[in-house]
């Protein structure tokens, strides 16, 4: 069906968007930090996507697309980088409300070091596979930046949120890679990846997804902190909020 990928995008974001107006969450109040984060991250990943599509590291099955394109990407692929991050950051924000206690700093540090170590190993060991190298190199950089430069207190909650997000991830990504369909919506060139799959999902996709959501949350948290600091300073100075 020509609308398959488009429907996957829309249904992925529908429920989080509706519940953004729930009085207990009021997630819409965070849009001023969220939308810039989504747009900035999308620009990075769309550029990456266009480059890999040009190299035929991956591509898209026209049987499941509406036929509209931005550059060499179907419009559905561009929407993916808007819809999925919205849903994932919404989930992260919900956890912040529901779960008040984070895992210990020592546990957070251990997880970060293990993931950075894994990423470095994958980059070195599979240096000939472009998708593998780019995915794990980006992950190592983002994790190092979050843990050791930003000293992000929120990183432990990100780990919990991403663990929770793996269930919908396997559903959405499974559909895109061909689970339950006659053929894949998104195909991959096995010469550029480890070619280890969970059902139809390349193992790199799990960490590519982590790259995508982590960068969104990094930018979102930085902007949120900046907005909060400005509001606090204005209150201290008795400056009316605009």
The phi, psi pair for 3, rounded to 5°, reads: -100, 10
Specify the higher pLDDT residue, 145 or 99.
145
Specify the higher pLDDT residue, 105 or 208.
208
The angle at the Cα of 202, spanning 197 to 207, to the nearest 5 degrees, equals 120
- Residue 54 has a pLDDT of 98
Spatial separation of the C-alpha atoms in residues 16 and 87, rounded to whole Å: 6
Q: Is the pLDDT of residue 235 over 90?
A: no
Q: Where are the domains of the chain?
A: 31-99+155-229
% of the chain beyond a pLDDT of 90 = 87
Phi-psi region of 71 (alpha: psi -120 to 50; beta: other; left: phi over 0): left
Question: Which whole number is the average pLDDT over 124-146?
Answer: 98
% of the chain beyond a pLDDT of 70 = 98
Question: Which whole number is the average pLDDT over 149-163?
Answer: 94
- Residue 212 has a pLDDT of 98
Q: Is the pLDDT of residue 221 over 90?
A: yes
- Residue 31 has a pLDDT of 97
- Residue 99 has a pLDDT of 76
Q: Is the pLDDT of residue 231 over 70?
A: yes
Question: Which whole number is the average pLDDT over 224-229?
Answer: 91
Burial (Cβ within 10 Å: 0-12, 13-18, ≥19) of residue 21: exposed
């Amino acid at each position: 069906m020509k609308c398959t990928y488009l429907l996957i995008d829309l249904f992925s974001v529908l429920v989080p968007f509706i519940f953004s107006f729930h009085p207990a969450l009021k997630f819409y109040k965070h849009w001023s930090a969220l939308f810039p984060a989504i747009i900035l991250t999308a620009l990075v990943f769309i550029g990456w996507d266009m480059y890999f599509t040009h190299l035929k590291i991956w591509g898209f099955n026209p049987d499941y697309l509406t036929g509209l394109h931005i550059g060499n990407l179907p419009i559905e692929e561009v929407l993916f980088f808007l819809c999925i991050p919205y849903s994932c950051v919404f989930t992260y924000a919900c956890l912040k409300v529901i779960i008040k206690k984070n895992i210990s700093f020592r546990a957070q540090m251990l997880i970060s070091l293990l993931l950075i170590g894994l990423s470095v190993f994958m980059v070195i060991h599979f240096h000939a596979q472009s998708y593998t190298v780019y995915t794990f190199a980006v992950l190592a950089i983002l994790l190092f930046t979050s843990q050791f430069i930003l000293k992000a207190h929120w990183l432990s909650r990100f780990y919990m949120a991403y663990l929770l997000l793996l269930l919908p991830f396997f559903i959405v990504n499974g559909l895109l890679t061909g689970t339950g369909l006659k053929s894949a919506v998104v195909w991959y060139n096995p010469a550029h990846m480890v070619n280890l799959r969970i059902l139809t999902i390349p193992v790199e996709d799990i960490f590519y997804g982590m790259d995508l959501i982590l960068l969104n949350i990094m930018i979102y948290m930085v902007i949120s902190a900046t907005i909060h600091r400005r509001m606090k300073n204005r209150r201290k100075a008795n400056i009316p909020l605009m």
